[in-house]
Amino acid sequence: MTDRDMTGRPMTQRTGWDWLETAPLADPAPAAVPQADPAPSFARCFTGADGARVLAVLRAMTLDRALGPDAPEAALRHLEGQRQLVATVLALIARGRAA
């Protein structure tokens, strides 16, 4: 009996670094997969009390946080990356709610 993946296709045993290679799609037609706007999904995901709480925690951890003058450059870069990600999520939420 052959093991199958979640799509029902037979799984192949990969060794070494082979697992990094992606398996070719059965129908590699990029136009077949619609590229929908993710903004409405973000808006739905962060709706309600739980969504507001998560956003408040993300804001407090990133946007409302200040590092001291002796913070290393790596810490500054790390925080700025986090801020950019949270800002992107907030922008997607706003765009999804406006639609």
pLDDT for 41-95, tens place per residue?
999 999 999 999 999 999 999 999 999 999 999 999 999 999 999 999 999 999 9
pLDDT digits (tens, 9 = 90+) for 4-28: 666 666 666 666 666 666 665 555 5
Average pLDDT of the residues in 21-43: 69
pTM: 0.63
pLDDT(3) > 70: no
What pLDDT, on a 0 to 100 scale, did the predictor assign at position 36? 85
How far is it between the farthest Cα atoms of the chain?
Answer: 62
Contact in structure between 96 and 40 (CB atoms under 8 Å): yes
Our measurement of the distance from residue 33's CA atom to the centroid of its chain's CA atoms, rounded to an integer in Å, reads: 19
Per the listing, tokens 């986090």 go with 82
Q: Which two tokens stand for residue 63?
A: 């946007």
| C-beta atoms surrounding 67 within 10 Å | 12
Cα(2)–Cα(4) distance, integer angstroms: 6
